[in-house]
Amino acid sequence: MNAPLKTLSHSPVGQHSLSSVPALHFQQASFEHRGHALLTPTTLTLSGCQRTLIMGPNGAGKSLLMRLAHGLLRPSSGHVRWEGTPPVQAMVFQRPVLLRRSAIDNLIYALAVQRVPRRERKALALQALEKFGLASLAKRPARVLSGGEQQRLTLARAWLLKPAVLFLDEPTSALDPAAIKAVEEAVNEFHHNGTRIVMTTHDLHQAKRLADDVLFMYSGQVLEHTPAERFFDTPASSQARAFIRGELVW
């Protein structure tokens, strides 16, 4: 089940030097829905090639912040801007969204969308399946795979896009420990290849394992954006202190 990631060389196009990931600026960006302010005006910068973990209680606006960053949503006011041209991005969702076709056809589809020449698609897809330990499941319908397998397949799909930035919205919240481990290894593999990681999670331990820096959100506000070590040792806000102690904060 938990096949270790093969260190298969990624094609050179996927290698991003650490400086090549452009910075993302939130400039007084806010989001409202039906009169409710779901994100208060926020100014922050995500730069460098780090693993940023967005943390906070349910409903704090973590997923919303990520969707604004990825461009799935537009801010009601203010701006969300990349410095220079927007980089190639991919997103992995909490519930894997896979098409009603075989595992390999899901990957081939993503390559077709990227306009990869037809004759190269199958080999690339097989390579990605191999890398994420799914080679034996290539012909299986994607939707009958287990939750962990499905999430690895979405990671394989993201891998094929060679993203400079990878967004993950609670990718492990419905998985068993082995599958969680596989996802975390994949995240690190992406990072290792120069992909910037932006990920939300509820799981403190997971955040401690993965985070370079932490964005702590509470009730539609970004309360802290600090290096991980500082966040876990000496959180600045009382809400973050309570959150880390595992107390209810709402």
Interface residues with another protein (CB under 8 A) are 67, 70, 72, 89-91, 93, 97, 99-102, 109-110, 113-114, 141-144, 161
Q: How far is the CB of 246 from another protein (least distance, A)?
A: 31
User: Which residue number, 103 or 244, has a Cβ lying nearer to another protein?
Assistant: 103
Structure tokens, 155 = 């990671």
Q: Is 162 helix (H, G, I), strand (E, B) or coil?
A: coil
Q: How far is the CB of 218 from another protein (least distance, A)?
A: 24
User: Which residue number, 91 or 186, has a Cβ lying nearer to another protein?
Assistant: 91
Q: Which residues contact 103 (CB under 8 A, 6 or more apart)?
A: 129, 134, 137, 138, 139, 140, 141, 142, 145, 153
Q: Are 94 and 169 in contact (CB under 8 A)?
A: yes
User: Which residue number, 21 or 137, has a Cβ lying nearer to another protein?
Assistant: 137
Residue 245 CA to residue 51 CA, distance in Å, equals 23
Q: How far is the CB of 124 from another protein (least distance, A)?
A: 15
User: Which residue number, 104 or 228, has a Cβ lying nearer to another protein?
Assistant: 104
Report the DSSP pairing between strands 24-33 and 77-82: antiparallel
Q: How far is the CB of 35 from another protein (least distance, A)?
A: 21
Structure tokens, 36 = 């409710």
